[in-house]
Structure formats: structure tokens, C-alpha cells
Amino acid sequence: MKVLANDGISAGGKKTLEEAGFEVITIKVAQEQLANYLRENKIDAIVVRSATKVRKDLINACPDLKVIGRAGVGMDNIDVKYAREKGLYVFNTPSASSSSVAELVFAHLFGAVRFLHAANRNMPLEGDSRFKELKKNYSGGRELRGKTIGIIGFGRIGREVAKIALGIGMKVIASDREEGEAEITLEFYNHQEIKIPIKTEPVEDLIKHSDFITIHVPAQDEPVLGRDEIQNMKNGVGLINTSRGGLIDEVALVEALDSGKVAFAALDTFKNEPSPAIKILMNGKISLSPHIGAATGEAQDRIGVELADEIINALK
Ligand code: 3PG
């Protein structure tokens, strides 16, 4: 049986599949050649990350394909319902990358409140000639301790974000389908545990109460945070999007950064990936990363092994 890991697979995942007798192909086939490649090579399972699209036309063109594995969380690049109707087994690895994404949120957040994104851009250019000015520009930072983080979407990743926030003394409010209270279990290295109740409230309330807002929901047709929502936020709020491009309206965001309503944004995902808007890339108040939330060795190892186990269960 043959598996094409078109966007790669960890060494552990590949090894597990090979030990179970699968041939694992890790070359990158261009999107437009994929249907031919899958058909001609009689590929049984395709594994993708977010780069490769598995749409209806591809599914229709490849009668031998039995399994579509998403090495990650978001399945917006796959026509899941259609594939399942056609009898394919389609799955993702929803939990394996939660910690990595949550840590990236805080990598951005810790950096942004101290202007590290801007300092890292300007120190190489002017650090030797304008040191004192740069020091002045990047003073006036803020601490996270004691501030309120609003988490929109309180699933696996949102909850991991909450754990880190609680650990550093932040107040956490969350917004999810259900309102009320959600319980977070903080687990420590020595196996001690603490359970902490988190208040959940509607997005329209959360945005008014938060110093920093991070979004953890799947791709949507419309922004979750547009011009109106931004107007209702605290002045000087910081916004983080490591989920999917467009969940924050990028035009409204740039306006709000220019006016000072939003102090900074941190974006790992963009509306027009893989070609984000130049206005976003060039904005000095945005901390940027190229969709690397799940891209740690640890997350990819967990994803690879989970994928391998699922494919073996499905096909053997
Ligand atoms: C996901 O949905 O799992 C993340 O956005 C990561 O996407 P990637 O696998 O393309 O890095």
C-alpha cells in the first residue's frame, strides 16, 4: 500500500508506516500534477498539511484513493463532506499541536508588549547609530501579569492558551458556543494539578473587557473581528491570530493600528496565504510569523505517529 505525504511527515510517522509494510513517498507533487500522480501511482492514502488542497475534482480523479489524512487541525483545504460521501476515510490530528500553537501565541505576546518585533527589525539597521533613540522608542513596555486575555474559541488550543496565561498570572476570559463556566486543569511537572474555573461570555462582551485578544476558531467566511468589534475594544488592545487568515479583518486592523486603537497585532496566519498583503507585512506594529503554529519538532512528531496509526488502522 502506498502513502503520499505531500507536505511531509515526521521521521517517526514514516518509520511506523514503513514497519507496517507501507511505502511512504515524501516528494512534493505540484497541485496541478497531483491528480495524475495519485492515479498513475495508485496511491492509497494522501497525507497533507495546509498547503496541498484536496478538493472534489482531485477526489473524483483518483478512484484508488481511500484515505485522506490531515497532518494538523484545520481541514479547510479538504472537501471533507464530499470525500466522506464518496466513502473515503478522512481524518485529522486535532490535539497533537495544541501546545505548540499556544506557545507561539505567547512567543508573540511576550515579544509584542516589549516591542521586540520592531526592535528586531530596527536594531540591525540602526542599533549602532541610534541606540539611545531606539531605547526610548521601545521603552514603555507592558507586563502580562495581571492583565486580561480574552480567548475566542475555547477548544483544545484555546484551553492550552488559558493554561499558560493562568500560569503567568493573567486573568482569563473565554468565549465559546456555551456561556457560563469552563474548568481548566493546570498540570505541573511534578504531577500536581489545580483546577481553575474560567468565565465564558459572548464575544461582544469579551472584546470590551480584554487587554489582549487571541482567536482560536476554524476558518470562517466572514471576519470574527471586524471594524465594529475593534471599535468596541479597549484602547491599546493587542490582537493575536494564529488560527486562520481573515478571522481579523486585515483592512480594519491596519486602520486601527494606524489610529492607535489597536497597539499591536501578532499574525501567524493571513488572508492571502501564501502571499500576504504587503500592507500587513510592512506594518511595524505587527509581529509576524509565516504560519508556523504547529511547526515544532514535538508537534510534528506527535502528528506523524498519530497519522501513521490512523492509516494503519484504516487500511490494514
Ligand atoms: C493546522 O491547522 O493544523 C495549523 O494551521 C497548521 O497548519 P500546517 O500543518 O500547514 O502548518
Ligand 1 center from residue 133 Cα (angstroms): 39
The Å distance, Cα 302 to ligand 1 centre, comes to 13
R_g of the chain, CA atoms, integer Å: 22
Set 103, 201, 255, 273: catalytic member: 273
Give the number of the atom of ligand 1 that is nearest the alpha carbon of residue 294: 6
Pull the grid cell for residue 99.
501546545
Atom of ligand 1 nearest to the CA of 244: 5
Evaluate the CA torsion angle 123, 128, 130, 135 in order and state its sign.
Answer: positive
CB-based contacts of 270, cutoff 8 Å, min separation 6: 245, 250, 276, 277, 280, 291
Cell of 47: 497525507
pLDDT value of residue 180:
86
Give me the catalytic one of 70, 117, 216, 244: 244
Q: Among this protein's residues, is 244 annotated catalytic?
A: yes
Distance CA(254)–CA(276), nearest Å, equals 13
Helix (H, G, I), strand (E, B) or coil at 1: coil
145 assigned to active site: no
Q: Cβ < 6 Å from ligand 1: which residues?
A: 49-51, 71-74, 97, 291, 293-295
Q: Calculate ∠ Cα 10-313-16, nearest 5°.
A: 30
Ligand 1 centroid vs 310 CA: distance in angstroms? 18
**Could you tell me the mean pLDDT of each successive run of 10 residues in the chain, 316 residues long?**
97 97 98 98 97 98 97 97 98 97 98 98 98 98 98 97 98 90 95 96 96 98 98 98 98 98 98 97 98 98 97 96
201 is catalytic: no
Pocket test for ligand 1, best of 52, 97, 220, 289 (most atoms within 8 A of CB): 97
Q: Which of 49, 70, 291, 302 is catalytic?
A: 291
Ligand 1, atom nearest to 291 Cα: 11
Residue 58, SS3? helix
- For a ligand 1 pocket test, name from 50, 101, 104, 220 the mutation site with the most ligand atoms within 8 angstroms of its C-beta: 50
User: How many whole angstroms from 83 Cα to the centroid of ligand 1?
Assistant: 20
Distance CA 3, CA 68 (A): 10
Give the chain's domains with CATH numbers: 2-94+297-315 (3.40.50.720), 98-288 (3.40.50.720)
